[in-house]
Amino acid sequence: MTTVLTIDQGTSGTKALVVAGDGQVLGLAERTVRPRYLPGGGVEQDPQALLDSVLEAGRAAVAAAGAPVDVVTLSNQGETVLAWDPDTGRPLSDLVVWQDRRAEALCQELTEHEDTFAQRTGLVLDPYFTAPKLAWLRRNVTREGVVTTSDTWLVHHLTGEFVTDAATASRSLVTDLDTTGWDRELLGIFGLGEERLPTIVPCDVEVGTTTAFGGSIPVGGLVVDQQAALVAEGCLEPGEAKCTFGTGAFLLANTGTSAARSSAGLAACVAWQVGGETTYCIDGQVYTAASAVRWMEQLGYIQTAADMDKVAAADAEGVLAVPALAGLGAPWWRPDAKASVSGMTLSTTVGHLVTAILQGIAAQVAELGTAVERDLGRPLTRLRVDGGLTQCRTLMQAVADLMQIEIELYPSPHATPLGAAALARVAHEPGLGLADAVVPWEPSLVYSPRWSADRAAEFRARWNAAAATA
């Protein structure tokens, strides 16, 4: 049975697990890496701190496991980028995080091409995706070295290779969705036509070896964090969907092996490439979920995220929040949107505000669910969920109430690294199918709607009216 060191490099930190073939976690370590939020929509991370977190967490997990590791895998943030020297690996810029909005003006310059981008890449022309950030770095920071997503830089430090996986590449706005290869014409539109780009590899290959965690260990099963969670939660058939509640909230639905574009304002991209076949998904994003909770902490509404259920009121009493603290993602694509709270009176308490903000996060997820249903041509019957914020009962109940479907809680807090571990097993064991590599699971909790359909529809209409003016 293959033992995997699986490293989940995320926005707020890095988690490393040593996982046995049956899914048992043998060793676990985490390191915090805080992003810096800058005026003007900038969000950055320290590259060296990020790399150190990967190495330290990985080594600590291996030490805790006390067992030999057969393969190492890495899941990444998807759209976080930097400039770096390919000869030395030295960073030439800070990491520009997926939440960063400073490329908004650059995207506005290219609006005449937005239909071309949508048709070829399946994505919306928005600074959330990779290429606008790469172009922004070239215009504003440095012309030296290479500009890539964070995974390419981290894998280079581990193995010396210059690669990215197909799922990560599909988040770039310069990858052809049908061929999953770089599109030189689109690169040229961004002024990136002469850039040296990493080789795009499938998610079921070993790309090299590393000695960073003891001995010489192959590295493979590379994938984006959200797609990794889609794997772990067993969403392997078309129409199956999950939502991860982390720094943001990300709802993905498997669309099968056809590279269909969204007609409902969602992004269409590669879910994974395994066994010579590409599986696709559609997805939408809520930019601020746990980051909105941290904002509440900073304002003193709550002491920690664990306090939310204690502080939240049973009813928001008419208070309505649009927590667009970093703009609105799909299906609005409003990077300029600002957060708002309305309906307050002298009787409004902190508990009402907390409930309203949680309902505002849930309302965005519900709108994503409706958009997914339009693209699938059929209703969702359930939504699988994972991530730290799923521990908030108030939030999960609000999602069930507004979506009017059952919400199934993934039993482990480690969906992303466990999904990447499944891909690593497929990479390490030729002939192993992805369905066989995924550890079976049952939901630890199921939330059913308590609101009537009429109440949910009335709330969503009011919330959407508020979001339209954000």
- Token pair, residue 277, equals 């076949």
What pLDDT was estimated at residue 1? 79
Beta strands 146-149 and 95-96 are unpaired
Kindly report each contact of residues 255-258 with a partner whose C-beta sits within 8 Å and lies 24 or more positions away, as own/partner. Answer: 255/280, 255/281, 255/282, 255/375, 255/376, 256/280
Cα dist from 349 to 312, 324, 340, 362, 363, whole Å: 10, 21, 16, 20, 21
Please state, in angstroms and rounded to a whole number, the distance separating the CA atoms of residues 100 and 80: 9
Answer for the pair 223, 272: CB distance below 8 angstroms, yes or no. Answer: yes
DSSP state at residue 261 = P
Residue pLDDT, tens place only, 131-151: 999 999 999 999 999 999 999
For the chain, the farthest-separated pair of C-alpha atoms sits apart, in whole angstroms, at 65
- Three-class DSSP category at 25: strand
Confidence of residue 82 (pLDDT cuts 50, 70, 90): very high
Q: Tell me what percent of the residues of the chain surpass a pLDDT of 90.
A: 96
Answer for the pair 289, 245: CB distance below 8 angstroms, yes or no. Answer: yes
Burial 186-210 (b: 16+ CB within 10 A, else e): bbebbebeebebbebbbbbbbbbbb
Please state, in angstroms and rounded to a whole number, the distance separating the CA atoms of residues 120 and 113: 11
What pLDDT was estimated at residue 223? 98
Lowest mean pLDDT among 83-97, 173-187, 321-335: 321-335
What pLDDT was estimated at residue 441? 96
Please state, in angstroms and rounded to a whole number, the distance separating the CA atoms of residues 283 and 370: 12
Average pLDDT over residues 393-412: 98
What pLDDT was estimated at residue 144? 98
Average pLDDT over residues 74-100: 97
What pLDDT was estimated at residue 118? 97
Residue-averaged pLDDT of the chain = 96
Q: Give kind and range of the element (H or E) at residue 270.
A: strand 267-274
Lowest mean pLDDT among 267-281, 323-337, 398-412: 323-337
Average pLDDT over residues 325-336: 92
Q: Name the β-bridge partners of 315.
A: none
- pLDDT at 68 exceeding the cut of 90: yes
- pLDDT at 335 exceeding the cut of 90: no
Answer for the pair 221, 426: CB distance below 8 angstroms, yes or no. Answer: yes
Please state, in angstroms and rounded to a whole number, the distance separating the CA atoms of residues 324 and 312: 19
